[in-house]
Amino acid sequence: MNPNQALHALGQSLWLDNITRELLHSGTLERYIRDLAVTGLTSNPTIFEHAIGHSSAYDEAIHSMSRNVQSDGSRFFALALDDLTQAADLFRPIFDASAGADGWVSLEVSPLLAHDAANTIKQAAELHARANRPNLFIKIPGTLEGLVAIEASIFAGIAVNVTLLFSCQQYLAAAEAYLRGVERRIQAGLDPNVGSVASLFISRWDVAVNDTNPPQLRNRLGIAVAMQVYQAYCTLLASPRWQKLAGAGARPQRLLWASTGTKDPAAPDTLYVEALAAPRTINTLPEKTLLAFADHGQVKQMLPSGGGDAEAVLAECGRQGINPAALAERLQREGTEAFAASWRQLLQTIGTKTAQLTQAGAP
């Protein structure tokens, strides 16, 4: 049993934070499923910008769409849905065997809609219908406007991956939006079994403070926030409110660790995977981190459900002048802006390729 399989045996799902056409067509993703306990994957605009911009694998499809698909955004979603529906079909046996707890893929709405609830709701419904897969999440950011769209989408029966969460407060707001959507479905006589995950970003905390924190706090803030959120997650799953919904047939909104690749070159490349081992959670790993953990990772101990030393670390960070609540808001804002920048670059890349391929007459 390799380290990835050991984590899976302890109850944590490992999802790949990447997708490319080569990954699908070369059999690499199938190998990761078979050998490295990968049971799902996530995508975002940055991942697709890199995949399309640094490969010729999409050129034929881009060229063929140039005659009948008018906008670069429409071309992107056609390309992404092609990749992600193929991936969803690969994961479908896992989805079925786990009764929908695992085996998911994710497609994000346009990041330009992060503060536009109405159009997020509209686009989420359109993408969900086009995908036509029971194991495809629509990713919606946990902004104030995103929360409105999340509740509405859950009520509409659309599975949602809530992205760009950074703090316990933001996680609880996302959980509340999910719970309200499920409760509204029950009140309307609808099936409450709608999938969702809440994605907490980890490493960006440490990137933000490592240059100012003393050595004893280096790379500890992100893990402390995760401990705090995991405690809130366990408390929620044990609450009478959730138990009532579970009794009616609802499934839990699983907690997902995102941004778990180590950014500090002086830190172990498996830092966040080893620190965030916890049952009933998901860790979505960059490909490099997935392979590193399989090679030399260790399953040392499980994340404590009681919060561990999170409060002590957060208090010490406070004494260093760090305001976690304000920093979480900043990180969410910067994350939203970064995804929007990747989205614009992605569309520019598709537009440039379309023009070049049209001029050449063939990919």
Rounded to whole angstroms, the Cα distance separating 220 from 275 reads 10
Residue of 40, 42, 11, 44 whose CA lies nearest to 230: 11
Residue-by-residue DSSP string for 7-27: HHHTT-EEEES---HHHHHTS
3-state secondary structure of 110: coil
What value, to the nearest 5°, has the Cα angle with vertex 285 and ends 30 and 110? Answer: 95
Query: d(Cα 257, Cα 261) in Å, to the nearest integer?
Result: 10
Greatest CA separation for the chain: 63
Which region, left, alpha or beta, applies to residue 250 given φ > 0 means left and ψ of -120 to 50 means alpha?
Answer: beta
- State the catalytic residues: 139
Closest CA to 220 of 169, 271, 166: 271
Q: In what order do the strands lie in the sheet with 13-16?
A: 38-41, 13-16, 281-285, 254-258, 196-201, 160-165, 136-141, 105-108
Distance (Å, whole) CA 160 – CA 179? 12
Structure-derived torsion over alpha carbons of residues 271, 315, 165, 227, reported in degrees to the nearest 10 = 50
Which helix (H) or strand (E) is 331 found in, with range? helix 324-360
Q: Are 250 and 182 in contact (CB under 8 A)?
A: yes
